[in-house]
Structure 1
């Protein structure tokens, strides 16, 4: 089971990392307006996700990669908390409506827990 969770996490991280390059505009929309250089942030975090996914894929570097993923995903809370601050039921994007922001926070928490679980069950 632990190996499956790690393998799926590795695939997920690499896939989402690649998506940062392919769906750049979508991910730029998640970067808070107050953050400078949104394109650099999106491409940089995408590259980091790919590297972390590769680290998680190998047993020898799995813990480091999973802890790195947990830290990176925790950093994404800035985006979700910023959305919580600006939440509006009439917002054109469902991700910035109350239900969307709540879902973003819950899903982000699940991703963090997943990465921590992989990091702490290596062996």
Structure 2
């Protein structure tokens, strides 16, 4: 269960480091630091698609075709999302894609937990979801509040 803690640390450390070094930095730079942490966590999770491909393929129901290829493909997708988060021009699209991926991939985590797949904490069974669901909610909050929202500004409706 070290992985969720590690994911939270990877996500927040660039932001915290920026806050400590430049206490009154521009809010755009704070968002860049928050996005960098998110990018790093997506690189971290993408690595599992290539280093633990078979256990990740077991996270998918047997009726899903080409499970191994799908694991590789989603790993490449996570790398693309991560890279997009490091550049200002693609950051918003990358943040929305990250949120969509977190939501789209969650059913695989539910399935893996109920099947007690020996990958990560899934072998704990449904209890693992008590850790996984709040972790994903935290990352979704991070995307919204720290990467997409402009700190100190309110959103205005489009005319």
Instruction: State TM-score, norm by structure 1.
Output: 0.79
**CA deviation after TM superposition for structure 1 residue 2, in Å:** 2.4
Aligned mate of 1:44, from 73, 80, 85: 73
Within 2, Cα distance between the matches of 1:92 and 1:15? 20
- Indicate the structure (1 or 2) with the bigger Cα radius of gyration: 2
Q: Which runs of 5+ in 1 are unaligned?
A: none
**CA deviation after TM superposition for structure 1 residue 68, in Å:** 0.5
Asked if the contact 1:64/1:119 (under 8 Å) is kept, the reply is no
Within 2, Cα distance between the matches of 1:106 and 1:36? 30
Give the corresponding residue for 2:128: 100
**CA deviation after TM superposition for structure 1 residue 71, in Å:** 0.4
Within 2, Cα distance between the matches of 1:7 and 1:34? 36
Q: Secondary structure at the match of 1:76?
A: helix
1:77-107 alpha-carbon deviations (Å, 9 max, x no partner):
22133346x36xxx57452423213222222
Within 2, Cα distance between the matches of 1:118 and 1:36? 37
Instruction: State TM-score, norm by structure 2.
Output: 0.63
Q: Kindly indicate whether residue 137 of structure 2 is the aligned counterpart of residue 109 of structure 1.
A: yes
Greater CA deviation, 72-81 or 38-47? 72-81
Q: Kindly indicate whether residue 99 of structure 2 is the aligned counterpart of residue 54 of structure 1.
A: no
Give the corresponding residue for 2:96: 67
TM-align CA RMSD:
2.4
Q: Which runs of 5+ in 2 are unaligned?
A: 1-29, 152-159
Within 2, Cα distance between the matches of 1:115 and 1:26? 28
Q: How does 1:14-29 map to 2 (within 5 A)?
A: 14-29=43-58
